[in-house]
Copies of this chain bind each other. A is one copy, B any other.
């Protein structure tokens, strides 16, 4: 059969060319397809199903923490975008402009939202009068557009899917707590669902969101030693409220400005999953978000009873797991490669000999380890194996990160470490001066990723200027 070529032969190995390995996976695992719209892609059913699982679980966490979903327009009039000075400076250079509706030229150009702070602010100004109207804890699941020059599937595209939370509060304290709460929700989600360890911290001022007083982020380390910002949470103070004239009657009967936050994660998380867990055989998906958690593959399908037994197993499992039976004409070997490529966490093989012995073989994707289990307690065994994969890949990713995190006291040490060990997280002390930050970047090639909440101190002085250190910073090359 023409389709029966071994798919894995077509993947470049990680070692050989990590970027090509990544591109091979997103295409061959059928996550995306390119389009004639430059920098935009089709997210195919298998890729979109991962996003649906991310969305479903994260949305439940948002609702549990009191948030409600809304939907804002996708367009922002140029005049509205311009109301907050830093914000427009940050975003205007990279937006798509709508200038015509039908054949009519628009008086006020519209940009396709790169983010929706301005629209939420306009709305808040309309609906908030009194402290009784606060807080508003809103979120939306939409796509946004940023006119990037260089694009890569999931990691950086001109259009991407995301959620953006926008909240508004009576006091600064409440808003700061919200900013931290949502960063924690993101960290919990990444660790518990995506099996991806993250570092929580604050961005340096040079890396803040346009218009924010403080930006918090979670940073993950990919398999190649590069960092990936997996989610951000911003505290705005009352800057946007002042720019947009949002005021409320306080408990003391005074007109006051409320305090705001915003926070978001994107389809980038799918890129993070690929580069955190994938291997030379393809994707490795965390069971909690895998579109197919277990695939059943009948062996020697022509033998009597095999197909029927495989269907029976499917029926046994399908109420509890996302399970697929592949009884197509392809060979078992081809199917093994196919579902390894697609990162299905657990494979169940069932053949005539197994049926005789009332058993089947379970193979876990991350270790390719085989276990023979009795059909009498298949459900429990599958649940156990999925848990094993979920934990196993988390631990492996954590180990990789620890192994590749290096504390350095001098710039020379940074350079030597990167040369010798390759990319990773560099921990180094910093005086807080933006100039030093720039010099580190220029001389070593690694930029500041975040000032982690968990601070350590292994030196009293800035790695760059030798003046007293204020923060321990994580540095690294980044996606």
Interface segment out of the listed A64-72, A309-317, A332-340, A381-389: A64-72
Residue numbers in B under 8 Å from A327 (CB-CB)? none
Check B49–A147 contact: CB distance below 8 A: no
- Least CB distance from A58 to B in Å reads 14
Q: Residue A295 at the B interface, CB < 8 A?
A: no
Q: What are 17 contact pairs spanning A and B, CB under 8 A? A: A33-B126, A35-B123, A36-B77, A37-B73, A37-B110, A40-B73, A42-B71, A42-B72, A48-B70, A48-B71, A49-B68, A52-B69, A71-B143, A73-B159, A75-B159, A99-B100, A104-B147
Check A45–B74 contact: CB distance below 8 A: no
Residue numbers in B under 8 Å from A132 (CB-CB)? 3
Interface segment out of the listed A14-22, A90-98, A205-213: A90-98
Q: Residue A411 at the B interface, CB < 8 A?
A: no
Residue numbers in B under 8 Å from A304 (CB-CB)? none
Give which listed residue, B33, B101, B122, B145, contacts A74 with CB less than 8 A: B145
Residue numbers in B under 8 Å from A272 (CB-CB)? none
Q: Residue A119 at the B interface, CB < 8 A?
A: yes
Check B73–A42 contact: CB distance below 8 A: yes
Give which listed residue, B37, B68, B100, contacts A75 with CB less than 8 A: B37
User: Do A76 and B123 contact each other (CB < 8 Å), given the known contacts A68-B49, A71-B42?
Assistant: no
Residue numbers in B under 8 Å from A104 (CB-CB)? 147
- Residue-wise, chain A 357-387 has the 8 Å CB interface mask toward B (1 for contact) of 0000000000000000000000000000000
Check A102–B110 contact: CB distance below 8 A: no
Q: Residue A451 at the B interface, CB < 8 A?
A: no
Q: Residue A175 at the B interface, CB < 8 A?
A: no
Of all chain B residues, the one with the shortest Cβ separation from A97 is B100
Q: Residue A112 at the B interface, CB < 8 A?
A: yes
Provide the bound-state CA to CA distance between A397 and B329, in Å: 52
User: Do A127 and B33 contact each other (CB < 8 Å), given the known contacts A48-B71, A72-B42?
Assistant: yes
Check A99–B102 contact: CB distance below 8 A: no
Q: Residue A41 at the B interface, CB < 8 A?
A: yes
